[in-house]
A = this chain, B = another copy of it.
Amino acid sequence: MKPREPSPIDRAALTADYLRVRAASEAICAPLETEDYQVQSILETSPPKWHLAHVSWFFETFVLKPYAPGYRPFHPLFERIFNSYYESVGPFHPRADRHVLARPTVAEVYRYRHAVDAAMRELLATCPESDWSTAAARTTLGLHHEAQHQELLHMDIKANFAACPLQPAYRERPEPERSGAAPALRWIERPGGVVEMGYSGDGFAFDNEMPRHRMLLEAHRLASRLVTNGEYLEFIEAGGYRDPRWWLSDGWAAIKSRGWSAPLYWAQGDRGWSEMTLAGPHALDPALPVAHVSFYEADAYARFRGVRLPREAELEAVLDNLPVAGNFAETGRLHPDRARDDTDGQWYGDLWEWTQSPYTPYPGFRPAPGALGEYNGKFMANQLVLRGGACVTPRWHMRPSYRNFFYPHDRWPFTGVRLAGDAA
């Protein structure tokens, strides 16, 4: 989230971006009932209403308050209740209790959004040149921040709808674009050597992607596509969840204490396995990628197959040489799709790929100064890096160097598994 100051940012272009991104958040929520905005079904999620307000709070706090002269906060308590975790900004409402915030209502939150939007348009138009580069950089950061919450909205809505016994559908099921079995899994041999990784361009990147630095890789190989539901089902049917051999010690403890025996949204009924999707429950399609597994499950599956998960540098080396294209949020599918053919590596989009790499600072990493330094840096413990984006990630928000991160037990993100191995 490094508010970098690249080539001069065009005011009109940034304003257009701003309006487009803000509108997209509201479009995501358009299918929701008022009640749906209020739910926090598991601790990790936030009510959709809260997301909509928090991203506005971000602009208010980091752009409007410092740069819009005379800006008056929309409500004196919003600083506290829509602050997510910025200790430097001040005390905040407990994360676990966001669902008790009946007020402000959904309508008030939309009024808040629109008041912030009006002030932002004004600021983008009138901000003096002396402030422009910082204000523009922070606005850009705010848009990428909002993109992250757009993905969270999809994740959280899915979790909420799945937690409701009525299992409602958030949207119609998209027509299947492809059908049939997944292409056979091939191994792609990759050379070792010193590679560069991390962001170095003059566009936007988060601080945690920098600095670009060298990294030494050993020769290795990567699977040609994501692991499928059908392949993962073999692991389940072979007793994978009952056999400690495949599991990290913490993973074994996790599946025992949480009672896990399949991916998050799977259910076994009279007619076999089904999977909850944003279009409601559907019969499990063995050709689709397995989704919503924890790192522990991804790692156990890899061990079951005698291989391992990729390192983040191994994936970045591939991503660096590919166009940013794939099954992203813009396709509107909001579900991972089968690999199209033998050449479809599913490197971008579909599902975030668990790596075996803990989320740690790159050599020379410096968090941004001030409260924005809390954006990424303070989470560099106990989490794992995921790469490549998912079907709920906006494509414009993606880069080869993008580092996502979650705790090893997290299953509500759109996570998937790519196998890797050492060179033969």
Contact = CB atoms under 8 A, between A and B. Distances in A.
A164 B356 contact: no
Interface string A216-248: 111010000000000000000000000011011
Interface in A376-395: 378-382
Interface extent on A, as a size class? 35 or more
A33 B49 CA distance: 14
B34 A35 contact: yes
Interface in A8-42: 33-41
Contacts of A248: 378-381
Interface stretch (A80-88, A111-119, A146-154, A318-326): A80-88
B378 A35 contact: no
B244 A87 contact: yes
Count chain B CB atoms within 10 A of each CB in A35, A39, A85, A380 and give the residue with the most. Answer: A35
A102 to B, nearest CB: 4
A60 to B, nearest CB: 17
Given A87-B244, A102-B160, A216-B194, A165 B35 contact: no
A352 B25 CA distance: 48
A93 B308 CA distance: 31
A314 to B, nearest CB: 10
Contacts of A295: 381
A304 B104 CA distance: 39
A364 interface: yes
A80 B296 CA distance: 26
A247 B422 contact: no
A252 interface: yes
Nearest to A296: B381
Contact of A166 (B103, B213, B378, B408): B103
